[in-house]
Amino acid sequence: MIKKNLKIFISFILILCALVLPIVNAAEGDQEATPISTEVTNEDGEANSSATETEGTEQTDAENTENTATTEENFKQGDVYLTGTNITVDYIVDGNLFIIANNVTISSQIGGDAFIFANSVTVTETGYVFSNLFTTAPNVNIKGVVYDLYALSDTVNITGYVYRDMRVSCDTLNINGTIGRNAYVDCSNINFAQEEADVSEENSNTIVSQGIISGNLNYTAKEEISIPDGAVGGNTNFNKEEVLSSNNIQAYLLSLGSFLVLTIVIWLLILWLTPKFTEKSSNLAIKKILPVIGLGILTPIILLVVSVALLLINITASVAALMFILLLALLMLSKSIFIIVANKLICNKLKIEKTIGIFGILIISSIIIWALGLIPYVGTVISIITVVLGLGTLVASIILKDKKDVDENSSTKK
């Protein structure tokens, strides 16, 4: 169930990126600039001096053009979106990378995050992902360097380096390289490469090829897995995989039902009391994403600090209690607000205008977000992100003015 939830999440992220942003095909025509040499002669057959200067200028321009073409071929500035069967990224990407393909090979530097939905993903020895790699693929091979790895897979092979943390859900995890910090794993088998001794007569030294997790290993499995000595630098924490029972299923259904009811009720109240809220908040979420994130982080901190300060004064204790209740209410509503705003953006992209269609997409979005919260480790991160964005959007829609509101106010005054 966890693997299916994670796969839904990564697929949902990729689909959102495909809907909101343009996708280009990986097959791009190679262009080469060819220098053109022109020689002008006089009646005696001798080259004219001005022609010689012109030739030199043309050759210089041609060389500059060729260098520019080579630079553009080996360097992509900004985000890159690719689809195809077999894709090899052998040029530098100074931005994020989005790929939907069959087989993907990264043999260059990726400056931002990489989002990959494929059958096989390989980061070669020369591949370097400077930020997060999010992928769902049956086979994932990391031979180069990845800063953080998030993967849903059948088999994950680490022969290179995961510079920081790794969060993986798979059947088999083979660690023949190095994990720089902590590993959060949900899988059936974890295999570490062992030290192999060179028994040849010429060389009696020991060849060290042991897989290492420098930080903590937190893993979930049906049974406890034997971890070799020295393979984990920190602590090893084992969580037994829960087997679904009738009580668990009933609890999950009750949780999902309450979440759906809360989201639907908030959506209906918004349509009734302030129908322009979803349009305004969706515009703010796109155009002013940084203020939205900032407000989502600062609002609970400010309310909590003010509540504690007022609580110390006996006269204002009741006000502090009200502010604390307000904070809890905002945190409860924030995830539903995030779903409603995201649902508006998706419906706009799909050009769904009928209420029944919007309602259907809202139900699907709510189920996906709820299911993501059940994933160990990843679910906590997703919940925090949705709460921050939802709360930030709500506060921003109250205190910030959209361009349309400014135009309407100015026209009203006139």
For residue 36, the model assigns a pLDDT of 35
Residue 141 is predicted with a pLDDT of: 95
* Contact of 137 with 154, CB cutoff 8 Å: no
CA distances from 315 to 112, 311, 320 (A): 51, 9, 10
pLDDT winner (highest mean) among 128-142, 184-198, 359-373: 128-142
Which 8-state DSSP code applies to residue 404?
H
Query: What pLDDT is attached to residue 37?
Result: 40
What is d(CA 404, CA 414) in angstroms, rounded to the nearest whole number? 15
Rounded (10°) CA dihedral 326, 327, 332, 338 = 110
Closest by CA to 188, choosing from 7, 3, 37, is 3
Rounded mean pLDDT, 21-29: 39
User: How high is the pLDDT of residue 94?
Assistant: 93
234: left (phi over 0), alpha (psi -120 to 50) or beta: beta
DSSP 129: E
Grade residue 148 by pLDDT with cuts at 50, 70 and 90: very high
Given a cut of 60, whether residue 18 has pLDDT beyond it is: no
pLDDT of residue 353: 82
Res 267 pLDDT > 70: yes
Tell me the pLDDT tens digit for each residue of 33-79.
333 343 444 444 444 444 444 455 555 555 554 444 445 568 888 88
pLDDT at 32: 38
Average pLDDT of every residue of the chain: 76
* β-strands 139-142, 206-207 pairing: unpaired
Q: How high is the pLDDT of residue 328?
A: 85
CA distances from 386 to 340, 342, 353, 391 (A): 11, 10, 25, 8
- The letter for the amino acid at 346 is I
Q: With 50 as the cut, is the pLDDT of residue 360 above it?
A: yes
- Residues written for the chain: 414
Residue with the larger pLDDT of the pair 304 and 247:
304
The encoded tokens of residue 336 equal 């539903």
pLDDT digits (tens, 9 = 90+) for 77-135: 888 989 888 999 999 999 999 998 899 999 999 999 999 988 999 999 999 999 999 99
Residues 288-341 pLDDT 10s: 888 888 888 998 888 888 878 777 776 666 777 788 788 888 888 888 889 998
Spatial separation of the C-alpha atoms in residues 263 and 343, rounded to whole Å: 11
Per-residue pLDDT reduced to its tens digit, 374-393: 777 777 888 888 889 888 88
Average pLDDT over residues 162-181: 92
**In this predicted structure, what is the pLDDT of residue 71?**
55
Q: How far, in Å, are 107, 126, 129, 146 from residue 75 at the CA level? A: 13, 15, 15, 19
399: pLDDT strictly greater than 60: yes
pLDDT of residue 220: 86
352 secondary structure, DSSP code: -
Cα(83)–Cα(17) distance, integer angstroms = 13
Q: 123 and 141 in contact (C-beta within 8 Å)?
A: yes
At 408, the pLDDT band (50, 70, 90 cuts) reads very low
Residue 174 has pLDDT above 90, yes or no: yes
Using the 8-state DSSP alphabet, how is residue 316 labeled? G
pLDDT of residue 206: 47
Single out the residue of 384, 377, 380, 381 nearest to residue 183, CA to CA: 377
